[in-house]
A and B are shown apart, each in its own frame.
Chain A
Amino acid sequence: MQLFRRSLNHLPLALVVGVGGLGAALTVGIWYYFSPRNLQVGYTPKQPIPYSHKLHVGELGLDCRYCHSNVERSPEAMIPPTQTCMGCHAVVRPDSPRLAALRDSWKSGNPVPWVRVHKLPEHAYFDHSVHLPAGVGCATCHGRIDQMDEVRLEMPLAMGWCLECHRDPGPHLRPQTELTNMSWKRDEASTVLAAVSVAAAGVRPPEHCTGCHR
């Protein structure tokens, strides 16, 4: 009784190649597609208040630090308190229906439940206040916020992605004056500038575990 036809003589080879290839493909597939680059980037949750960075930053030209005022002195850039919003909106469009939630919060004292977009793993201790002096601009990690109506996750925020910069900061840094400039592009001159600023700032990003994990 013979199950195998002669034509199947190449089956073993095919199997070896096939299984091997499949394994490789699987590994690479998981590595690439199951990565934050694919799973996280593009996250654009619905916010309780349709706040538009495009309007406030892109068109009105507010500086990031006007609202995220902690960014230079604290690990957390801080979402502004209702207070800050009301600073303007007490007079600007005081009764726009889109700001109802804001006014409620101001009356009741209950915070506005913003949905977090940029989230690092809980065991990664990121500190805004040390990245700014080093010359890391807002747009470097947050993308062109000034062009977003709703805030969208632009960068994968994965460990490997952080390390790219920590291993070779130079190309990613910018002059202190341009930190909050969304549209800043590095041309040749400014590369030199950046290079200089790296040397000057003595930027030595940690690459060891406890640089970020404690």
Chain B
Amino acid sequence: MTNDRVFWRSLEAKAQPEQARERATGSDVVKQSIDAPGLIRLRRRQFLSLSGAISALVGIGCSIRRPVEKIMPYTEMPADVTVGVPSHYASVLTRRGEALGVVVQSSEGRPTKVEGNPEHPGSAGGTDLQAQAALLDLYDSERARTPTLQGAPRTYAEVDAVLAELAGQLAASGGAGLRVLSEPSLSPTFVRLRAALAAKLPNAVFHTYAPVSDSNERAGTQLAFGRPLLVQHRLAGAQVIVALDSDFLMTETGSVEAARGFANGRHMDSAAGKQPNRLYAVEPTLSVTGSNADHRLSLPAQSIAAYAKALAAALVGQGISLGALDSELGRPELAGVASPWTLAVARDLAEHRGASLVIAGSRQPAAVHALAHAMNSALGNVGRTVVYVTPVDAEEPLHFPDIASLARDMAAGKVQTLLVLGGNPVLDAPADVQFKEALAKVPLSLCLSGWRHETGELCTWHVPQAHALESWGDQVSRIGAYSVQQPLISPLFKGRSDTSLLAALLAPAASAVSERDPYLLVKATAAMHGADDERRWQRLLQRGVGPRNVSQITLGGLSLQTAAIQSALRALPEAAQLGLDSLEVVFLADNKLLDGRHANNAWLQELPDPITRITWDNAALIAPSTAQALGVASGDMLRLTSSDARSIEIVAWVQPGQAPGSIGLPLGWGRKRGGKHALGAGFDVYPLRTSGAPHFTAGVKLAKLGTRYPLSQTQEHDVMEGRPIALDATLDAYREHPNFGQRGSPDPSPPPLWKTQDYSQGPQWGMAIDLNRCVGCSACVIACQSENNIPVVGKDQVARGRAMAWLRIDRYYVGDDADQPEVAFQPVSCQHCEQAPCENVCPVNATSHSPEGLNDIAYNRCIGTRYCMNNCPYKVRRFNFLNNNLDIPETQKMVHNPDVTLRFRGVVEKCTYCVQRIQSSKIAAKREGRELKDGDVVTACQQACPAEAITFGDIRDATSAVSRAREVDRNYALLAEVGTRPRTRFLGKVRNPNPEMVG
């Protein structure tokens, strides 16, 4: 009987003795996971579906007694539980190369919401969409449930037996023929154990691979400084930022922190405020970062290096010498690129020594990174806007050569035993290394992964991997903050962690628990990093961040290896000639699925891509001009054939801002295994990817297949039609007209037809959204979905215009050059109008105004005339056209927030300003006999926003953050001219173009 089924037996709430035993291992939270009231609460949300039946029964009066309901109290009360009151635990999630400190809410033992941990430097309280969606991965009913041997279910006892036997053999042979392939790790414990294992088994070889990683960054620092270092940007202090094919606000490592810093550097609290930063983006594909740039140049990925050299040369021209490198750089211009793009940018950089920043993206080769480091040090930015940090795992090899060598050895039969600890090489290893074929030659292979995916299926053994929220672990953030990964719930499917597997190999079953139990192992590591007594340990768990930094920041003793850089620059390949018969393809980390690891997450699948607004699919992104020349339209099926005759089929999407001659291919889609949502969504582009050119390659031919493929978008119209919607102004214009926000026609404030609400009492809730801070990352959208139990409707329903998101981010293209558009993002949810058009038209009073200025909606009163949707000028009301909560797998039901009703079909829903949070805060205040204070209520979107673009609070209190934000001169009410008096106000965006480059 799997733990999963036990859990659901506990709907009738059978207490679990074995759970109690697990408590002994220190995970106090486990016990809560079977708390009965929570489970009975789950049924609360089936109410609406029952209401029909109930009313029918009552209607004919045949049943005067409701169905008998049981209450299952604890037998023994856990120490730290108050039934009905959620508790919060600090933990940490891995986001690419960065640790993301989170605080997880646990409602009666089941994690129900992930939020950023303000104490943690990696998140500073913000999160990204993957972190917000982590819960759905945790509760995914399609995760592997039992270990399998050649596909046949096996027990964990058998796995342990095999591991013990293996450990024995290996100990004898010194690990001969053993290969361990793991993903890049931020965990000192893991690294520690791996080192120990390596020491114990000298003949074993350890490999590291991830399809999307910071390998080039390491190579870059290795090249520039002769040692592998991590690069930590401090964007807040940067006045001028040049991003060389770097999407540092979205898909690159540390995007959460970067977004925060970027927004701070850009913030203006008044027209007279400090100078905002200026961002130049040079990139092949319109990225979220590019969308936020003041100047954006779309350039094929292969030309970025040349541009970097030209820029460096221009810097030299500005008297910023790169020493011996100067001779390498050539002329400060680039064919086909307007001269200001080198000269003016260089001048701008030079004028901001120590307050500028050049960022090289992880797609670019080591030489470009090295050149960026050279420029930064020449500009005196090192130590100010960029610092270098020693990595936790100093041995991490360069991924692509490494995976290639592993595959070679496997194919050559040199590998007897292969452990795959996480990752999915069969899917995402470069096509040319032919990992799949090589794997067939390995006698014994064991794969640890959450889903029985492409790799898990082909390995001899597959062991379910525990989710980060299910297992003990630890991580070190970029700047070296140590945090512990606390489990919130006992593994639903009894999964194992990579640490525990290593431990099993390291310490035979006989050895002490302290050497095998991940909890104790982590505790031991923590002790090495300052949490050396119980009190400090508890404090660490509580804060989520350790007392002192693990790895130190390295500044002194860094000297540029100019010679090496020189030769590397020389070795850079010439940019190939691009044409319609020889196109460049660029492999993109997907905005939502990254490398595909989140492919079975319905929330992410249904989230519209921040740029293309496509849901449930990826597509080959083609520049409008190129598409026109090739006669390709969005939705056409294409075949892309690389120079070495590898080919894929994928649907075309004409994407403004894509570099002409270059095609963007988002990775991680078109999965063959790994869950029903992953299957058949999008197209797999890995088959085109080779270890030689893993990031971009030229010489690709494009052929139309003549067939069409339907794509679902949530937004089909890209321009504002000249309407005052997402307002922006250049810095000069802003300084001239600080109130440019009010340029829409003024609020008519029509005479009320009936007695208007009295807003003079109590808190008056309002929101301010600063479009100048919002980067468009969409974390808020998923946060809202998680907090408010918003259902997923699927690709077909989205195509029919029935997406349910309460909070959407509108994306508009501005400007007339389709190849170089400016982008405007605007998060729109219910504006909570004081003169709400929706309220007057509801025939049954299902939506009405609260004395606190909320636009209330009572689902159970709603009969679904949809009149309110029609009459909402912002179109933020959503209707349950079908029963969207039908057949939710039992495990997935646990993701629901118990404080929000689940809506039945036929009911209208919308943003409530997270009223459940407002109420609980108010009640808490009452309980404590105090007044609400500013900051007591934090909405889900506000909490998740890494850029702090959203402010919420009491607008009656003039001192509150939201009142001050709403008074910023840029403020405006969306569609004020309709006279709705919205409670949500926007602050117009300020663009900061370089005067030399305007016009």
- Residues of chain A touching chain B, judged by Cβ–Cβ distance below 8 Å, are 33-34, 38-40, 43, 45, 70, 72-76, 78-84, 105-106, 109-116, 119, 121-123, 125, 127, 129-130, 133-134, 204, 206, 208-211, 213-214
Contact = CB atoms under 8 A, between A and B. Distances in A.
A70 B50 CA distance: 29
B901 A123 contact: yes
A80 B84 contact: no
Interface centre among A82, A109, A112 (most CB of B within 10 A): A109
B82 A73 contact: yes
A78 B83 CA distance: 7
B65 to A, nearest CB: 7
B84 A83 contact: no
B787 to A, nearest CB: 11
B70 interface: yes
A123 B76 contact: no
Given A73-B85, A76-B83, A83-B77, A209 B856 contact: yes
Nearest to B918: A210
B952 to A, nearest CB: 16
B13 A111 contact: yes
A214 B859 CA distance: 8
Contact of B927 (A121, A125, A133, A208): A133
Given A74-B84, A130-B926, A123 B47 contact: yes
Query: Dominant SS at the A interface?
Result: loop
Contacts of A33: 61
Contacts of A79: 71, 73
A109 B850 contact: no
A39 B64 CA distance: 5
Nearest to B73: A79
A125 B848 CA distance: 18
Contacts of A82: 73-76
Contacts of B58: 34, 39
Contacts of B47: 121-123
B74 A81 contact: yes
Contacts of A114: 70-73
Contacts of B76: 81-83, 109
Cβ-closest 6 pairs across A and B: A122-B47, A76-B84, A208-B850, A81-B74, A209-B858, A209-B856
Contacts of B74: 81-83, 111
B926 A70 contact: no
B997 interface: no
Interface stretch (B37-45, B176-184, B748-756): B37-45
A111 B15 contact: yes
Given A208-B851, A214-B900, A106 B75 contact: yes
B859 A74 contact: no
A29 B69 CA distance: 28
Contact of A208 (B13, B849, B926): B849
Contacts of A113: 70-72
B200 interface: no
Contacts of A206: 850
A83 B46 contact: no
A85 to B, nearest CB: 10
B69 A116 contact: yes
A130 B923 CA distance: 6
B854 interface: yes
8 contacts: A78-B37, A80-B73, A109-B75, A116-B69, A123-B48, A133-B926, A209-B850, A209-B861
A212 B578 CA distance: 64
A84 B926 CA distance: 29
B929 A133 contact: yes
B83 A70 contact: yes
Nearest to B929: A133
Contact of A43 (B65, B75, B85): B65
B880 to A, nearest CB: 14
Interface in B894-920: 899-901, 912, 915-916, 919
